[in-house]
Amino acid sequence: MGHLATKKDILLAEDDTEDVLIFETALNDLEIPYILRHAENGDALFILLKDRVPYILFLDINMPCKDGVNCIVEIRKNREYDRLPVVMYTSIINEKTIDECYQNGANLYLAKAYTLTALRQNLKKIFDIDWNSYLHYPPRNNFVLS
């Protein structure tokens, strides 16, 4: 028998409460054991990161205090977060922003889904990656999950 899976420590930086609820609903449906911590802005995010480095970070782009692009730049400057997978989680779909996130070291770009099913499928893809064994930087054409 396999040992009980340790809970995945997931950090979601997102200022929209409704989006947080949708995200959590999709996570629940996946039936992976997790702890979800939530930062409602860029400043709160860095406080939570200092507290402990999560298994994975989902990072919204439009946030008060510091936007997601500034956050990823700051995260990648800090050696402590070298092994932290960062998934941009956003409703912004434009090449300039996508390129910026890619060049600054985000691991994946997840557009906010219109349906719970789509979000669930994408989260499943993300959690199927074994982030602990390698840091996954896909080629630019696989960077955006659709």
Whether pLDDT at 132 is above 90: no
Which amino acid is residue 108, in one-letter code?
Answer: L
Listed in sequence order, the residues at least 6 apart from 137 whose beta carbon sits closer than 8 Å to its beta carbon are 105, 107
Instruction: State yes or no: pLDDT of 106 exceeds 60.
Output: yes
The stretch 104-121 carries a mean pLDDT of 93
The pLDDT mean for the chain works out to 92
117 in a structural domain? yes
Looking at the domain assignment, is residue 2 inside a domain? no
Tokens of 52: 């402990």
The reported pLDDT for the residue numbered 2 is 47
Least confident of 75-89, 91-105, 110-124, 125-139: 125-139
Please indicate, yes or no, if residue 82 is contained in any of the structural domains: yes
Q: Is residue 1 part of a domain?
A: no
Q: CB neighbours (10 Å) of residue 84? A: 20
Quote the pLDDT of residue 83: 92
Query: Regarding predicted confidence, which is higher, 146 or 109?
Result: 109
| Domain presence at residue 119 | yes
| CA–CA distance, 26 with 34 (Å, rounded to integer) | 12
Domain holding 134: CATH number? 3.40.50.2300
User: 3 lies in a domain?
Assistant: no
What pLDDT shows up at residue 126? Answer: 95
Question: Tokens 């390698």 label which residue?
Answer: 134
- Read off the pLDDT of residues 19-71 as tens digits, 9 standing for 90 and up: 999 999 999 999 889 999 999 999 999 999 999 999 999 999 999 889 999 99
**Quick check: is 129 in a domain?**
yes
Q: Residue 5: its pLDDT value, please?
A: 62
Residue 26 is assigned to a structural domain of this protein: yes
Of the pLDDT bands very low, low, confident and very high (cuts 50, 70, 90), residue 1 is: very low
Structural domain including 49 reads 8-145
Q: What's the structural domain count of the chain?
A: 1
The strand pairing partners of 38, in sequence order, are 12
